[in-house]
Amino acid sequence: MKTISTAKSHGGVQGVYSHASEACACDMTFAVFVPPQAQNGPCPVVWYLSGLTCTHQNVMDKGEYRRLAAELGLIVVCPDTSPRGESIPDEKDNWQFGCGAGFYLDATQAPFSANYRMYSYITEELPALIAKEFPADMTRQAIFGHSMGGHGALTIALKNPERFRSCSAFAPITRPMVAGWSKPAFEKYLGSDEATWRAYDAVALIEDGRRFSEFLVDQGSADGFLEDGLRPWLLEEVCRSADIPLELNMREGYDHSYFFISTFMDDHLRWHAERLAR
Amino acid sequence: MKTISTAKSHGGVQGVYSHASEACACDMTFAVFVPPQAQNGPCPVVWYLSGLTCTHQNVMDKGEYRRLAAELGLIVVCPDTSPRGESIPDEKDNWQFGCGAGFYLDATQAPFSANYRMYSYITEELPALIAKEFPADMTRQAIFGHSMGGHGALTIALKNPERFRSCSAFAPITRPMVAGWSKPAFEKYLGSDEATWRAYDAVALIEDGRRFSEFLVDQGSADGFLEDGLRPWLLEEVCRSADIPLELNMREGYDHSYFFISTFMDDHLRWHAERLAR
């Protein structure tokens, strides 16, 4: 692991690191905030997965998580959203596929299957690195994210309920296998057999029997992607039928941006901290 | 005035606006956060002046001021740091002069004197626009800033003590007329007669008899510009001899970045709010 930068912030350290990823077959960059409490022992880990077009940096710059994470003693890990580099297959003019759009799945179709293995990266390779290099209590983990990263958080929690004590999302894509901005990516990454897509779709996973303790979701009512891309009511419906408690907060007038995320960041961090302390 | 964007944030509105500036003879962009309390009447105005290379956007993205400004009922105005545009004289490869480096002064030397009039812009033209277009209580104003913008805040407060109830700074340039990264700019903007530079130098202004009620300054001890560029002890010395109360907090391990600024943003906003409420 290589340290790209560190800066003291809110009594802790905000760092940016890179490493040669085996899962993605390229160098990967990520950000970690370590709170001041880590000087006295391992701290719980909160994973934040970002949305389309983002790197580790967007939430690091604009998410406003450090003040409260420092108070609550939370390590916050912010991975990148895809493999990157000149050798990585990409569609340069398409922000909904390729670099910046890994959708937290393991691609099975060439040429993408060689690098686009973000599910393995986020659930296996990066956790092992975090456990090794940071003062992290890996028995206490939580996961959340935004938009495509909200989809990532929901699906990863549903498939690994024993690992995460809590899961929340800001404006998540709830049903990516049918939404216009994600369906073409699923087809290119996973092939034309839609049955294989269900392993990366929160609604389908619940339909197919996966369960999680409870979810918290915040969604802005003025989000331009609400009707076609996000549709939290689909998650609400399937959670109701599966008896999964869902706190869905519709936030009047908020859009899809970090101005929305940062507004409700404190609520989500407190929600995770309460469950991590149980 | 043209609205470039608005987004709901922390119950208020973060907007970005532009207008044709007479002072700078070009279009100027600025950011304004209006807190929810403005629905019930005019709110006090806090001016944040940014540092070298910044636009209105850096502090808007990374300053983390909205949460507490919304709680305290403060309008926060974030201007740009210089005139900009293809017609504006600039030194493209010099980050310490020209675009992004207006130093909050009125240039007297051609060709810069036609556009680089940030002192007039910040003290006359933009306040008039804010008073006209926003629910602002202009009888209650405060000013702060970072680095070059800390210099701007200190000098503008010293020259307009009747207008500002409070003034603070993060890592301000205290003595720009002798610091290596500002002296060449002062010479190009103001000419070779150093006597004219004293009107834009906080230490010189106090030596020459200007006064302000009190200052709050935070400075990181790991700031790479501390020894050569910033030197808060020069401000400390002249404030002591002039009987101006100065709270100078040296912050162990903090650098010059927004990771530092955002850490102490709450302290500064509370400090201003207390004085604006008197």
Q: What is the arrangement of strands in the sheet containing B164-170, beginning at the earlier edge strand?
A: B2-9, B12-21, B26-34, B75-79, B43-49, B136-146, B164-170, B215-220, B246-251
Angle at B271 (CA atoms; ends B263, B179), nearest 5 degrees:
65
Query: Which of A65, A259, A260, A265 is the best residue to mutate to test the B interface, defined by the most B CB atoms within 10 Å of its own CB?
Result: A259
Q: Helices in A167-245 by DSSP H: which ranges?
A: 183-190, 202-207, 232-241
Cβ–Cβ below 8 Å for B67 and A262: yes
Provide the pLDDT confidence category of residue A49 given band limits of 50, 70 and 90. Answer: very high
Q: Give the nearest partner residue to B61 out of A8, A11, A62, using CB atoms.
A: A62
What Å distances lie between residue B94 and A239, B91, B179, B181, B223, CA to CA?
57, 5, 16, 10, 21
What residues of B are in contact with residue A11 (Cβ under 8 Å)?
A: 263
CB contact under 8 A, A9 and B253: no
Q: What is the pTM of this model?
A: 0.97
What percentage of chain B has pLDDT greater than the value 90?
A: 100
For residue B269 the two structure tokens come to: 């906003």
B228 CB-near residues (< 8 Å, 6+ apart)? B179, B180, B181
**At A196, is the secondary structure helix, strand, or coil?**
helix
Average pLDDT along chain B: 98
B98-116 core/surface letters (b: 16 or more CB in 10 A; e: else) = bbbbbbbbbbeeeebeebb
Question: Any idea which residue has 């003019």 for tokens?
Answer: A93
CB A144 within 8 A of CB A49: yes
**Average pLDDT of chain A to the nearest whole number:** 98
**Structural domains in chain B (count):** 1
- CATH of residue A149's domain is 3.40.50.1820
Q: Please, are residues B206 and B242 in contact by the beta-carbon 8 Å criterion?
A: yes
Are A150 and A169 within 8 A, CB to CB?
yes
- Considering the candidates B56, B146, B151, B256, report the single residue annotated as catalytic: B256
Q: How large is the average pLDDT for residues A21-48? A: 98
Question: For position A133, what pLDDT does the model report?
Answer: 98
- Residues of A with active-site annotation: 147, 223, 256
Identify the domain containing residue B138 by its residue range. Answer: 2-276
Is the ipTM above a cut-off of 0.90? yes
Percent of chain A with pLDDT over 90: 100
Quote the pLDDT of residue A192. 97
pLDDT at A143: 98
CA distance A29 to A80: 6
Pairing of strands B2-9, B12-21: antiparallel
Identity of the residue in A8, A66, A263 whose CB atom sits nearest the CB atom of B253: A8
Mean pLDDT by 10 residues, chain B (278 residues): 98 98 98 98 98 98 98 98 96 96 98 98 98 98 98 98 98 97 97 98 98 98 96 98 98 98 98 96
